[in-house]
Structure 1
Amino acid sequence: MLAAEMAGCISKKLIDGGAAEVLGVDNSEEMVATAKKNFGDVKGLQFKHQSISAVHYNGAGDFDVAVAFFVLQFMKDEKELRSAIRNIFYSLKADGLLVAIVPNGVKDYNPTRTDGLKFGAAVNLKEDRQLHDGRRLDVEFLHPVISDEGLKLYGEEFFASYLNPPKDIVIRAHKIRNL
């Protein structure tokens, strides 16, 4: 499936999962137009053409949850990336949640898990998983999980290059209230 064909799918899944209102933001006019065409009639679902790095929140915190699936890697430079993350932070209510997925960035490199850890290609935060940026975010790096059903159906070897190192990094960050 092409990216344009998937426009709005994640937003629709959030509505299907119980969200009362979802605002999908994309800097591609084509993606927004396709999302509106596909899901424009869904109650509680809106789409807006805008770059997350250009949205300016004054800290009002309108959102309980923000998702950025395969978004942050498209920022053109560090300044734009910092702006995007800052805007997401300020868009969240106190105790809000950000879930982001970004590609690992280790192209065509499939070491064993031991080698991946040895060379820094895999991140593993378990015991002391809390990282804080100015004590305002509780950040977790989540590891991909393959279901028992998936392992039974395809076997461990099938998923080896996906898991070692993980192709995508999932980040969950809670906004810390009143520190």
Structure 2
Amino acid sequence: MSAQYDEIGEKVADWDVLPVRSEYIEGHSFFKALGSVAERTVLDLACGDGLYTRQLKARGARRAVGVDISEEMIRVARRQEAQHPVGIEYHVSDVADLAPLGTFDVVTAIYLLHYAHSPEHMLRMCRNIHAHLKPGGSFVTYSFNPEFSAKGPNSTRYGITMLDFPGSPREGQMLSAELHTKTPFTIHFSYWSRATYEQALRDAGFHTLTWMRPECSPEGIARYGREFWQDYLDNPHAVALRCER
């Protein structure tokens, strides 16, 4: 999956301001699931250009480390760090093959597990995540919604459209989504059921898996109105998942 993000390059920055990607939905829901990171150590996987890694540091993380499979994404993240140093370190790696970086209070991942190309690959990811957590630590991720419905609303006004989404996707089936940025681009990933995610996480040693549907922030409702968001909240493309070690 690294090649597609190497090609996307700095266009991913446009993604960060899409309505669904902004603090109104994704950021708000992710940080609500995560809770406070003040004075905690955080490993941010699938960090991309470091958008959330920088926010984690700004929210008080004592140590923040970002990892992404794309060399181009990490190049952009490191350039941001060089221009505005906040003490973040970045590494290039497939999470399934991640070398030890220490143990952390929290591991986060915005859009990671649905890039697994097989259940075995996902299990290797989950085992490495578990190995990087301190006892009692938490893994909080945001991933494609296994219950997304092709029959439900799928409006371009939120900035993302699922392309040719099947009524009943198969395990491991390749899916595509178009991001309606200033320079639109398409991402590709694999469909996995909730059962597949949970099996890999439990086999890796996690317990108390809590799925959380996204919510809109008060700021998002104030800006666009509650009715604007309802179609997306009824059929979100992604959901949060919190797992305890």
TM-score between the two structures when normalised by the length of structure 1: 0.74
1:23–1:159 CA distance, 2 compared to 1 (3 A): same
Structure 1 residue runs of 5 or longer lacking an equivalent are 112-131
**1:45 pairs with 88, 102, 106, which one?**
88
Q: Aligned-pair distance for 1:154? A: 2.3
Structure 2 residue runs of 5 or longer lacking an equivalent are 1-9, 17-48, 154-200
- Secondary structure of 1:44's aligned partner: coil
Alignment of 1:1-179 (within 5 A): 2-3=11-12, 7-40=49-82, 42-55=85-98, 62-105=103-146, 106=148, 108-110=150-152, 133=202, 136-175=206-245
Q: Aligned-pair distance for 1:170? A: 0.3
1:39–1:165 CA distance, 2 compared to 1 (3 A): same
Q: Aligned-pair distance for 1:81? A: 0.9
> Equivalents in 2 of 1:148, 1:10: separation in Å?
20
Deviations 1:71-90 (A, max 9, x none): 11112221111110111011
The 8 Å contact of residues 61 and 94 in structure 1, kept in 2 or not, is answered as no
Structure 1 stretches of 4+ moved >6 Å: none
RMSD between aligned residues: 2.8
The 8 Å contact of residues 142 and 169 in structure 1, kept in 2 or not, is answered as yes
Letter in 2 for 1:155: G
- The equivalent of 1:128 in structure 2 is none
Deviations 1:39-67 (A, max 9, x none): 2452431000111011255xx96111111
- Secondary structure of 1:47's aligned partner: strand
1:170–1:136 CA distance, 2 compared to 1 (3 A): closer
1:23–1:148 CA distance, 2 compared to 1 (3 A): closer
Q: Which has the larger radius of gyration?
A: 1
> Equivalents in 2 of 1:8, 1:137: separation in Å?
28
> Equivalents in 1 of 2:79, 2:223: separation in Å?
36
Higher relative contact order, chain-length normalized (CA < 8 Å, sep 6+) = 2
Letter in 2 for 1:49: V
> Equivalents in 2 of 1:17, 1:3: separation in Å?
22
> Equivalents in 1 of 2:202, 2:50: separation in Å?
31
> Equivalents in 1 of 2:79, 2:151: separation in Å?
39
1:136–1:74 CA distance, 2 compared to 1 (3 A): closer
> Equivalents in 2 of 1:4, 1:149: separation in Å?
21
May I ask how many residue pairs the two structures share in their alignment? 155
**95-104 or 41-50: which moved more?**
41-50
